[in-house]
Structure 1
Amino acid sequence: MLKEFIIKRANLLTEITLAIMVFLYTYFTVITFAPVNGYIGDEVWYPTAAYNILKLVFHVTPPMYFPYSQEANIQTYINPEHPPLAKYIMDLFILLMGYKPIAWRIGSWIMGDLMVIVGFLLARKLVGGELGNVAGLVSALLIMLSPNLWLLHGIAMLDIYVGSFILLSLYFLLSDNLLLASITLGLAMASKESAFPLILPFLYYVGEFKKSPIQRAVYGIGIPASVYAILSVPIMVYFGGISGWIHNSFLFMLGWDATNGHIALTAIDQISTPWDWFLDIHPFYVGYNFYASTNPFIMWAWVVTTPLAFIVRDLKSIILTMSAWTMWLAFCVVYILGNHTLFSFYVTDFAGIIDVYVTVSIFKFYKWISTRRTEKVNNIVSKEDLGSSQNVG
């Protein structure tokens, strides 16, 4: 009874601490980003596209309290080169508040808070036991301190949406809730196509539970693809049907990702390759003295700790780190295919996974070493007891 009481008290204290952390994260988010009454970085594209989706796709025209950005053809642009879900979420707040900076950023703020909470829950579940709460709080803190996540959760771009839904999908997957994992993977895919490569580690893990190829295909591909397709229906209608959507959006998206054109190649101080992210080379500048910096310490900690998952032979940890590596390798493939205009803020797509994995791997390795040491001591004691018994006999 006493042990259960202590555990409940520890859990309550931990959850109160997490609530305070999330409150502070939200507070500093609001006071940092709400006062910026202008477009920050690629906000010149996404909130305007969200408003145009309301106007041109759903035929709803909320009041505009802020002018369009000055990009070419911006008044009819719906961002067909990326999936629509993040813009839909922006639209909810634009409908409620009208078209203005605070409205289009609130969705990102919520997704940032969600990532902190999910990071805590995932680390606590994977580590478990008395150290689970500590691991959860450390993971949440690393997410909060990530410079890339801090910027991207503060402004209206797509990457915080895909990063948050990916982490949520992995939480459900590694909790063995395959249905919710599949649905949330579909939400990530419907936020940005950088989530597509996660199908590979997803299929591998599902195979541990569903030996039937059909079942694996349903959970690993069918359900996520269906969620993606359902959320794309309004865009399909706008382009005149499935064929028009495939040509003007889906195939256009794949071609866009594999070619240069995201920025002029001469803007070398803005462009960074996937290997540059490990040294924070050329962090993307979005204006207002904001940079999408990476955290080299955590990036290299990820490299160093990845073997630990294999040493302790923990499948869940392996899936976690390999999910992040799969996404990083996908960006390398995109670079090889010809897109040499990549940016540091792409790290946001998998930064949450890294922050959780580094924490989990260290705690699990510590527990593994402690268990082996205890077993070794017990074996020695058992042999000594056996020898003593034989001598007495």
Structure 2
Amino acid sequence: MDWKRVAFALIVAITMIGTVWFAYHFASQESLNDYIGDEVWYVPASRNVLHLLGVNVTYEHNGSYGVNVIFTNESDKLKYLSTADAIAAFNGVKLRIEYYNFPGVYYEIPKDKYRSFLNELALQIPRDAYYVVPGFWYPDKEDIQDYLNTEHPFLGKDIIMTSMVLLGDKPIYWRLPGIIEFALIELFVVLATYRISRSYLASLIALAFVVADPTLQATSIAAMLDIHVAFFVALFVLALAYEKELGSAVAIGLAGAAKLSGAFGWPVLLYRALKRENSFIRFFSIVVIIPGIAFLIPEITIIKAIGFIPWLEQFLGSFKWHLSYKGPNPNTSPFWQWFVNYRAFPFHFNPNVFASTDPVLLLGMVVLILAMPWLHRRKPGILAPFMVFWSTIGFFALQYVLGGKTQFSFYATVLVPPAAVVMGVALNELLKWEAFRESIGTYWSWILRMKETVKARIGR
């Protein structure tokens, strides 16, 4: 058995396990048992869609179930809130949170009294005056009880919804898919780098960039969309490295289905297909039909919830939203500022969670523009992830020019997988490792010489 291969596999496996353990431990601490960052939009939207589909989720805390009682309007809240409070009190309510920006209230009811609570509500309050949404409490945002986040595609919310249904409506469960995806991104980057370079060292360099990346670290513990986008972009890069056209087409469709920025690497798929496909039908299938199907399948949940025509209208209308200025924001960070980690987006304070970027990684991609022709001759596969990175930057620049000037540092999460692969391959080629080996040998000889000198002097 090749000991180098075994050692390499162990390093990667231990790193992935350590990533999951550390991120899970951090994300599950009590101080983060609430919404962080833009979870205030994506998680409620996921819960609301599940409610429209007739699927109830469960939040259990200290022997009680969480439930949101949402009134039809403010008038009904004024009329029936005291009744709901009295019913909750009679059933031993453990926690009450009143919402002020929409007509609702949250209760935690002991499990053995929960069914009685719901039955009493139905008996004492008209059914057209309220409805209940079991699960975690809502952020107190205006109209959040109706928000569906249709300005973004739905795969990211599908993933959050799946976790909520299978595990429960609890912050750590919202975040668990992203934590697992972080570890899988490490694996995808390692495999892609090794495929291109055939070097364990190059793969470990790429792995180090991913593990240490502060953007991935922050977004992996927040139930937002960007970690899911990065996951499918990493899968796209892996498929490109293995020259799997079908896999590349599916992956780019899924990346776009998580967030439109995930599809910003699509020109690379187009370039590959133009070079390799002689059949128009196969070419069109690879660049349009297969990605389109992969994009549409995750939309089935929201289409089923609101209908095809409303979904289509809102999806098409989202392009205007993406290309609009959202007003002044102290955390705005246009795409060129990501390269120097200017104005990291804050997800949470105490503990501090900021979506910082890695200037070494991103500025390294700028420097490598000068070396890419030489690197491409030595390792032709490096060009694909390099083009994915710069194609993505190009589309972010186009979005900015067309009016979408409200950009944030966590958008850069999608750049990390292709950049890490490129940097791993490039550094392994550009650095003269013989210099390090010879230098280490020299240091070792100095140590031995000093040791002999010390021995000689002591012997005297």
**Class of the TM-score when normalised by the shorter of the 2 chains:** 0.7 to 0.9
Structure 1 residue runs of 4 or more that deviate by more than 4 Å after TM superposition = none
Please state how far the C-alpha of 1:317 moved relative to its aligned partner. 1.2
Q: Is the 8 A contact 1:283 1:291 kept in 2?
A: yes
Code of the residue aligned with 1:135 in structure 2: it is A
Choose which of 23, 28, 31 in structure 2 pairs with 1:34.
28
The DSSP-based 3-state class of the residue aligned with 2:346 is strand
Equivalent residue, structure 2, for 1:259: 324
CA distance 1:218–1:307, shift in 2 (3 Å): farther
Give the match for residue 53 of structure 1: 49
Contact 2:240 2:384 in 1 (8 A): no
- Which residue does 1:152 correspond to in 2? 219
Measured after TM superposition, the shift of residue 365 of structure 1 is: 4.4
Paired position in structure 2 for 1:389: none
Does residue 316 of structure 1 match 2:381? Answer: yes
CA distance in 2, matches of 1:283, 1:247: 34
Q: Which amino acid aligns with 1:300?
A: L
State the structure with more CA Rg.
2
Aligned mates of 2:224, 2:178 — CA distance in 1: 8
TM-score, with structure 2 as normaliser:
0.74
Deviation string for 1:329-387 (max 9, x for gaps)? 111111111122110000001112111211112224469x9xxxxxxxxxxxxxxxxxx
Higher percent of residues as helix: 1
| Unaligned segments of structure 2, at least 5 residues | 60-65, 67-135, 435-460
TM-score by length of 1: 0.86
For residues 94-130 of structure 1, give each alpha carbon's deviation from its aligned partner in whole angstroms, at most 9, with x where no partner exists.
11222110110011111111101111111111101xx
Identify which of 293, 313, 317 aligns with 1:247: 313
Give the SS at the match of 2:347.
Answer: strand
More strand by share: 2
Q: State the distance in 1 between where 2:262 and 2:24 align.
A: 28
AA paired with 2:153? P
Please show how residues 288-367 of structure 1 align to structure 2 within 5 Å. 288=349, 289-314=352-377, 315-365=380-430
Instruction: Give the root-mean-square deviation of aligned CA atoms.
Output: 1.7
Change in Cα spacing, 1:251 to 1:279, as seen in structure 2 (3 Å) is same
Match of 2:262 in 1: 195
Aligned to 1:20: 14
Q: Choose from 148, 153, 165 the match for 2:232.
A: 165
CA offset digits 1:156-179 (Å, max 9, x no partner): 110110111011112112201111
Structure 2 letter corresponding to 1:244: P
- Looking at structure 1, the residues matched to 431 and 272 of structure 2 have their Cα atoms a distance apart, in angstroms, of 24
Q: For residues 253 and 43 of structure 1, what CA distance do their matches in structure 2 show? A: 19
Work out whether 1:106 is the aligned partner of 2:176.
yes
Partner of residue 242, structure 2:
175
* Aligned residue type for 1:334: Q
- Match for 2:273: what amino acid? V
Question: Where does residue 335 of structure 2 map in the other structure?
Answer: 274
Equivalent residue number for residue 291 of structure 2: 224
Contact in 2 for aligned 1:305/1:362 (Cα 8 Å): no
Q: Is the 8 A contact 2:215 2:355 kept in 1?
A: yes
* Equivalent-residue separation in structure 1 for 2:223 and 2:366 (angstroms): 30
Contact in 2 for aligned 1:163/1:348 (Cα 8 Å) = yes
